[in-house]
Amino acid sequence: MHNLTVIKIGGNVIDKPGALNQFLSSFAQIRDHKILVHGGGKIATQVAEKLGVPTTMVEGRRITDQPMLDVVTMVYGGLVNKQIVAKLQALEVNAIGLTGADASTVLAKKRAVGEIDYGFVGDIVEIDSGQIQYMLRQGLVPVFAPLTYDEEGNLLNTNADTMASAIAVDMVHKNTVTLVYCFEKKGVLLDPANDSSVISSLTPQVYESHKTAGIISKGMIPKLDNAFKALRNGVAKVIICHADQVVQAVKEGNAGTTLTLS
């Protein structure tokens, strides 16, 4: 069994060149097998505005009609992904930029229309862990943009937190997997306005209590739902931390918020 770290880096870091460069320098220091999944929503919104494509968000989720799908494909799969890959190459990390369509790594299906029509948004059906494992054996570091594809050949916009969790879960059969969510906060906070109020450890029971009390809310809820799902499905460790703490989180396990099932 290899040690494998799957790291998701959020858009609030990606859209700040200095913060991104610092994170990638830290990421390069991780010597075990590793996979990076990135977002880029803020940049997509900025590019859409320049192109005259309206952005519609519902509860933090992007409505992806055809014009917006074109934008996120260009931004996620092109601009952001290839910039990250190029920067990693300069740091002597032999990265390979991917979407879920590449080598058929992440198959999805278009989300069914319910009360809300999310458009070309994909829910993950299957991960080809064999292809990803092969890349790792070749010394490559996969860098995934949050795009998947369906059996009809359509590209689909897929939540990056969900993608990271799903990849981590599918890789547990041949690896001891740590999943790390990195963003601009130091972890899950008791008080969103106080970056020092980090909850050092979190169980499902405490999570539900904090959620009921409104302490944990909004965008942190789907992130934590994905994180606990990963733990329940064989991922050894899940940590949520600041992008600057990624090496400390992976090597020492004492940064940010560590999730456990009990």
For 120-131, the pLDDT digits (tens) are 999 999 999 999
Q: CA angle at residue 110 from 42 to 85, to 5 degrees?
A: 45
Mapped onto helix, strand or coil, the DSSP state of residue 185 is: coil
**pTM (predicted TM-score):** 0.95
pLDDT of residue 195: 84
For 15-26, the pLDDT digits (tens) are 999 999 999 999
Tokens 């943009």 — which residue?
145
Domains belonging to the chain, first-starting first, are 2-259 (3.40.1160.10)
**Are residues 234 and 169 in contact, defined by beta-carbon separation less than 8 angstroms?**
yes
pLDDT of residue 137: 96
Chain mean position to CA 173 = 20
Which residues are annotated as part of the binding site? 40-41, 62, 157
CB atoms within 10 A of CB 59: 9
Residue-averaged pLDDT of the chain: 94
Whether the predicted pLDDT of 156 surpasses 90: yes
For 126-146, the pLDDT digits (tens) are 999 999 999 999 999 999 999
**Are residues 221 and 211 in contact, defined by beta-carbon separation less than 8 angstroms?**
yes
For 200-233, the pLDDT digits (tens) are 999 999 999 999 988 888 778 888 998 999 999 9
Indicate the helix (H) or strand (E) that contains 257: strand 257-259
Whether the predicted pLDDT of 11 surpasses 80: no
Q: How confident is the model at residue 70 (pLDDT cuts 50, 70, 90)?
A: very high
Which residues are annotated as part of the binding site for substrate? 40-41, 62, 157
Whether the predicted pLDDT of 178 surpasses 90: yes
Residues 6+ apart with CB under 8 A from 242: 182, 183, 184, 185, 186, 187, 255, 256
